[in-house]
Each structure stands twice: as C-alpha cells, then as structure tokens.
C-alpha cells in the first residue's frame, strides 16, 4: 500500500459523486447514500431508516494512510481497515473496463473517431518464480489491424466524454469477434515475450492474466 492507493480511492470516490476535502496524507469525504450502503457496513442503520421511511445521513469519514494504534474505527479508515481494502478493490474493478475518446489537437475542425479495442494487464506464472509479463494489445474495429502498444496515455489526450466536433464511427467488426481475436493475439504476444531460458525445462507452467483491463478507445486513426 502506498500514497497512490490513497489517490486511487480519492479518484474513485469523486467519480462516484462523493464530496472530498483534500489533505496531505489523508482526506475527508462525505459519502453518498449509495457508497455508504455499499461500503460502510451499517445494515441496521439503513434498515431502520428504510423501515421508518426516514432519510438517512451518509457517513463522513477520514481516509488516511497513517496507521491506527487502536481497533478499526467507523470514522477513520486507514490502510489496514477492511473498508480501505474494499475501496481499493472496487476502484480497480471500476477502472477495469473503460470507454474513452481521443481529443483532436484542433477542436474547431470536425473529425471522425474510429473505435479500437484495447486489452492490457499482467500475465503471472504458476508455479511462481519467473517475472510477470506486462502487455498492451489493441485492435482496430474498423480495419481489423492488430497492434502492440507501449503505453496508454489515459489522462493526456483522452476524455470520458465525446469531444466537441467529434463523431464516433460505428464498429465494423463485431465486439464478440473482436474480443476473441484480441485475446488470441495477446496470448501469442505473451508467448513471444516469455524468456524460456529462465524457466526450468522439467516443469510445466501456467501463464494466466487473471484480471485483464480492457476497453474501447475512439482514436483519430482508423
């Protein structure tokens, strides 16, 4: 756990509509009712409110990386708190699938965006020992081209909303077909990256990408 996990939770909570007051190594958050019901583990409170037709008050909590000496408390959530762990897990799940649009350099000109399917993640070895393999593969849903990518600059030129004067094209290749092809292509890419010299000849290995991240990015190139 490190400070990035704290940022991950903060972005997740902001994305889910919570009001966050920033601090240095901690932040205060006013949860929404949905978040409170899902993460704060107070079913009796919400049951009572629902049964008496009263509006509940979502909790206000401090989320911090500083370890707490005492037992886990309701209003301070540190890295070892189960709620912290659940939030990290949910944030990764939320970010596991995405849909983005590339922003054109000039916003005044009308442009068309073309869908690309992306798949990336860590392939791990069982039995453990060899270094994991990180791979990013993409496929154009317009032309069917398959590409290996070095990086995905999510923040710099991608947006969650369709940029002005942009029109996303409809995919020509069906999602189902595209997913199958992209997975096969990624398996091939992983096989090519495996350093067989580092493996024990007498063993058999399973290389599995447990939770790949995947999504669709509408790009300027078809």
Partner 1 sequence: MEINISIGDKEWRQRFFRYLNSFCEPSSPALTEISYELKHTSIKKERALSCLQDLIDFSPMPHQISAAEKVLFEMDSRAILADEVGLGKTIEAGLIIKELLCRKMVKKVLILVPSSLAGQWQKELWRFTLPSIIHRGKKEWRQSPITIASIDLVKREPFRSEFQKEAFDLLLVDEAHKLSNPKTLNHQFVASLKSSYRIFLTATPVQNKTEDLYHLSKLLHPSLFESKKDFKELIACDDKELLKKKMDRLMIRSRRNETDVKWTKRKISVLWIDQLPYEKSLYQAVENEYMRMQKENLHSFSHLALLRQGCSSSISLLKALRGEKHDDFCKSINVNLNITPDELITAKAQMILKIVKEHKDKVLIFTQYRATQLYLHWFLKQNGISSVLFRGGFKKGKKQWMTDLFRDQAEVMVATEAGSEGLNLQFCHCLIHADLPWNPMKLEQRTGRVHRIGQSNDVNIYYLLNKNTIEERIWRLLKDKMVLFETIVGEHDHLLSGTTEKDLDRYLNDAILHSRSEKEMKLKLDHLESVLKKPHHKIPQPDQSVGTGTEGLTEKEEF
The least distance separating partner 1 from the CB of residue 122, rounded to whole angstroms, comes to 5
Per the CB < 8 A criterion, the answer to whether 6 and 20 are in contact is no
The least distance separating partner 1 from the CB of residue 29, rounded to whole angstroms, comes to 15
The least distance separating partner 1 from the CB of residue 201, rounded to whole angstroms, comes to 5
The SS3 call for residue 218 is strand
Reduce the secondary structure of 123-184 to three states and give it as a string: EEEECCCCCCEEEEEEEECCCCCEEEECCCCHHHHEECCCCCCEEECCCCCCHHHHHHHHHH
CA-CA distance, 88 to 4, in Å (whole number)?
10
Q: What are phi and psi of 107, to 5 degrees?
A: -85, -10
Q: Which of 95/111 has CB closer to partner 1?
A: 95
CA-CA distance, 24 to 77, in Å (whole number)?
15
Q: Which residues of 157-171 are buried (b: 16+ CB within 10 A; e: fewer)?
A: ebeeeebeebeeeeb
Q: Which of 30/86 has CB closer to partner 1?
A: 86
Q: Which of 45/125 has CB closer to partner 1?
A: 125
CA-CA distance, 177 to 141, in Å (whole number)?
10
Q: Which of 56/154 has CB closer to partner 1?
A: 154
Q: Which of 52/67 has CB closer to partner 1?
A: 67
The least distance separating partner 1 from the CB of residue 196, rounded to whole angstroms, comes to 7
Q: Which of 57/82 has CB closer to partner 1?
A: 82
CA-CA distance, 172 to 154, in Å (whole number)?
24
């Amino acid at each position: 756990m490190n400070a990035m996990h704290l940022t991950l939770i903060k972005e997740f909570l902001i994305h889910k509509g919570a009001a966050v007051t920033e601090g240095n190594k901690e932040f205060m958050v006013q949860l929404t009712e949905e978040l409170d019901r899902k993460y704060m583990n107070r079913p009796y409170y919400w049951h009572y409110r629902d049964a008496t037709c009263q509006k509940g008050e979502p909790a206000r909590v401090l989320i911090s990386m500083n370890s707490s000496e005492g037992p886990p408390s309701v209003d301070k959530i540190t890295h070892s708190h189960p709620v912290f762990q659940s939030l990290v897990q949910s944030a990764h799940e939320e970010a596991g699938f995405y849909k983005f649009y590339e922003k054109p350099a000039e916003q005044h000109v009308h442009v068309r965006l073309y869908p690309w399917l992306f798949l990336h993640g860590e392939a791990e070895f069982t039995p453990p020992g060899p270094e994991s393999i990180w791979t990013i593969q993409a496929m154009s849903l317009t032309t069917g081209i398959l590409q290996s990518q070095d990086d995905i600059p999510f923040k710099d030129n991608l947006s969650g909303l369709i940029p002005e004067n942009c029109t996303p094209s409809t995919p020509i290749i069906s999602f189902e077909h595209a997913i199958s092809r992209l997975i096969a292509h990624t398996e091939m890419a992983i096989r090519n990256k495996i350093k067989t010299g580092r493996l024990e000849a007498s063993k058999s290995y399973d290389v599995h990408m447990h939770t790949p991240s995947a999504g669709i990015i509408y790009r300027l190139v078809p």
